[in-house]
Structure 1
Amino acid sequence: MVDRKILLIGSAATLAVLVAGTVFLTQGRGGDDFAQCTNSAVSGGMDSFGTDFTLTRDDGERVTAADVFTKPSLLYFGYTFCPDICPLDSARNADAAELLRQQGMDVQSVFVTVDPARDTPEVLADYTDMFSDQMIGLTGSEDEIAAVNKGWRNYFKLQNEEDPEYYLVDHMTNTYLVMPGNQTVEFFNRDAPAEDVAESVGCFVKAAS
């Protein structure tokens, strides 16, 4: 693991989102092909999460969901100007993916911005490189970002009315496990440690093989 020194700056808006982010998610037991691995249940089932998309990758290439989800992926929605929560969640996801790669499982992390005005491909590339060279950053137009967030039922709201430059963004903080073929099978709350995430993802990977 790579030690990361992250400056933690408190944010009331972020704390509010942490509560909102768990409103529609409840713990339970699934009944699909991955039943032995599933620890979460949501209204409508995990199949209700996800959508096809075309977004811009952090290398400037336009990519589809089929291009991105070629391997098990830890999908997270955040923004690079986020002062506290996003860096911690991104580091956790990168660490979980690295633990799995050490076990011979090819898993990646994917970061979709909720702040496309500031998060250009170049900005995303610098951000994702801080955590892992295996992390993919995705951005797009406002409509494209709104659509992909809607597909994963991810709430976000820009707080840019008073300050159009140094604003924060309220957003949910769940990480989704998306299997190849754009199949969302699990989610993880932000308090799950990297080791637990890796163990859970490993179960899905082995069940799919």
Structure 2
Amino acid sequence: MTRLQKGLWAAVAVAALGAGAQAVMESRAPEVATSAASLVVAEFELTGHDGVVRTEEDFWGKWTLVFFGFTNCPDICPTTLAEIAQVMDDLGPQADAVQPLFISVDSDRDRPMDLAEYVPLFHPSILGLTGTPDQIEAAAASFKIFYERVPEEDAPDGYMMGHTSQVFLFDPDGGFVRLYGYGTPAPEITSDLSARIDARN
């Protein structure tokens, strides 16, 4: 783990202590039900933090880890991004077969330039994606995820975002594979994903 990533982990720990209420609010957001998992598809047209417009087809050929969140999230999002960063480091050479995506549910505050300042701090392989409200709504509908704006006086611009906090895994053909629940340890994700990569090869 790099010095920067260690610093981010420390910041995550501090945020977790100071933002318990927000963590509870976000963790109560509805999760994707197991019964609905077979209906999950990855369909989107969003702009990357590098300014390039991407669709799901751009990531075919790789295993894709997808997480929805927002840059002003004090707890769940940075914790999950740090876990994904650890997974990418621990996969070693197998990481070349994986593309992590962070899709913002906060189109008003998360422009490509904002994601470009935030997402790469966790890991250079993670790509942040954002879009118009309609584009984000369409992406969320295809993944069957929940998100909503929640008024919060002390938050930046007076609101936070409640959202589904699971991580989605798609195979190189773009097919949905499974969900990793919030809080799934990085070693568990790494072990599962590594075995799938080996089995496909």
Shared fold (TM-score, shorter chain, > 0.5) = yes
- Residue of structure 2 aligned with 1:184, choices 176, 182, 188: 176
Name the counterpart of 2:19.
10
SS in 2 for 1:66: helix
Paired residue for 1:149, among 127, 140, 147? 140
TM, length-normalised to structure 2: 0.86
8 Å contact kept, 1:66–1:181: no
Q: Is the 8 A contact 2:65 2:168 kept in 1?
A: yes
Alpha-carbon distance, 1:148 to partner:
0.6
TM-score (norm 1): 0.83
User: Which is worse superposed, 157-166 or 140-149?
Assistant: 157-166
Mapping 1:20-169, distance limit 5 Å: 20-22=29-31, 24-25=32-33, 42-44=34-36, 46-103=37-94, 106-160=97-151, 165-169=157-161
AA matched with 2:63:
P
What is the deviation of 1:131? 0.7
Say if 1:73 and 1:177, in contact at 8 Å, map to a contact too. yes
User: How many percent identity over aligned positions?
Assistant: 29
Once residues 148 and 179 of structure 1 are traced to their aligned partners in structure 2, the CA distance between those partners, rounded to angstroms, is: 18
Alignment partner of 1:175 out of 162, 167, 176: 167
Verify the 8 A CA contact 2:38 2:176 in the aligned structure 1.
yes
> SS at the partner of 1:112?
strand
Whether the 8 Å CA contact 1:57–1:136 is kept in 2: the answer is: yes
Distance 1:161 1:128 in 2: 24
Q: Comparing 161-170 with 139-148, which one deviates more in the overlay?
A: 161-170
The CA distance in 2 between the partners of 1:16 and 1:167, in whole Å, is: 12
Bigger shift: residues 67-76 or 8-17: 8-17
Larger proportion of helix: 2
> What are structure 2's unaligned runs of at least 5 residues?
none
> How big is the alpha-carbon RMSD for the aligned residues of Structure 1 and Structure 2?
2.1
| 1:99 CA displacement | 1.1
